[in-house]
Every structure is written in structure tokens, then in C-alpha cells.
Structure 1
Amino acid sequence: MLVRSGLRSIRLIGPRPVPVNFYDYYLQNIPNYNRRHEIRPGITGLAQVRQGYTTTLDEERMKFKYDLFYIRSLSLKLDLAILLQSVNAVNKN
């Protein structure tokens, strides 16, 4: 039952969850960062296929721009494009 409730709180496509130890720092240093929570987090997302993992605040700012674009542009077509890019990225590695 715990697995089911966890799966209901996450989408296939959407902004990836941020590690708890970084969240407060990003919230204080990136304007409107809390907007990432307008939709449920996802297993993969536009920021992951375009930006990948981040190690600097500037990289996280760029990743956030991709997340905002995704939130503003939600569509089945965009989700399918992200899913295809995610599959391609996995196959390359």
C-alpha cells in the first residue's frame, strides 16, 4: 500500500525532486523556485534531458528555467517528446 501511495504522488514526466539538503538553498537563491511544486514531481523531465545533473547554482538556475517552461507548456506532445529523449539518453549510456 505504501508503494501505491508513493506512485500516486509522482508522475512519469515532470520536474525531478530536488535533494532535501539543497532545496532550502535553491529556494533562497533562485527567485520563484517554489513554482516547481505547481505540479507533482516526475521520474524524468525536460530539465533532465536538456541539462542533466547540476553541480552549481547557475546550472540549477538553467534547470529551473526548463522546469518552468515545462509547467507553462504542459501537453501530451511535450510529454511524449521528453519520454522519447529520455529513452534515447538511456540507450546511449
Structure 2
Amino acid sequence: MTDEEMSHLLDDPLPEGMFSPAEEAIIVFARTSTWMRPISDEIWKDLKHHFTDRQIIEISWTVGLDQLVSRFHATVQTDVDGVTTDQLTSCPVALPPAPS
């Protein structure tokens, strides 16, 4: 995924034509799940239109695992080295504010 595409992952709605319909289905599902909002029938229908049940399970597992790892690091406030910090600050998706 390009930096340009990454910078639009949180746009709602997503920019028209930037992502394939299958990519959009994954992005909407992942975003909704990450924000702990209910996965609507429409989101499921869109996933099922593009993916098999097995693929949807794999997508769900990948999204959930990323959420678990991210929440763990946020909870324990993992220290990162300079190389990682540089990569994080250059990421087009903004980091959330540090916990107080």
C-alpha cells in the first residue's frame, strides 16, 4: 500500500476509485471492528460478496490479532528504538495522542 493510500484509510467515505471494492470491504470491516462498533449486515454482505467464508475468517483473525498486539503495546507503553520511532513518525496515518 502506498503512502497516499495509507493517508486515506481513515477517510469516511473512502476516496472514490483509490481502493478496489474488495479492499474497501476489508478497510470498512477493519475500521469498524477496531473502533469497537457493531459489524452491520451491510458490512458482512459486502465481505461475503468479495471473499469466501474461509477468507473472511482469515481477515477477521488478522484484524483481531493486530488489535490485540496494538492494545498490549498501548497498555504497557512499550519503548521503541529510534529506527522504529522514525518509521512511526513518517507514517501517513497519525498516531493517537500519548496517554496521560
* TM-score (structure 1 length as normaliser): 0.30
The structure in which a higher percent of residues are helix is 1
Q: Which has the larger radius of gyration?
A: 2
* TM-score (structure 2 length as normaliser): 0.29
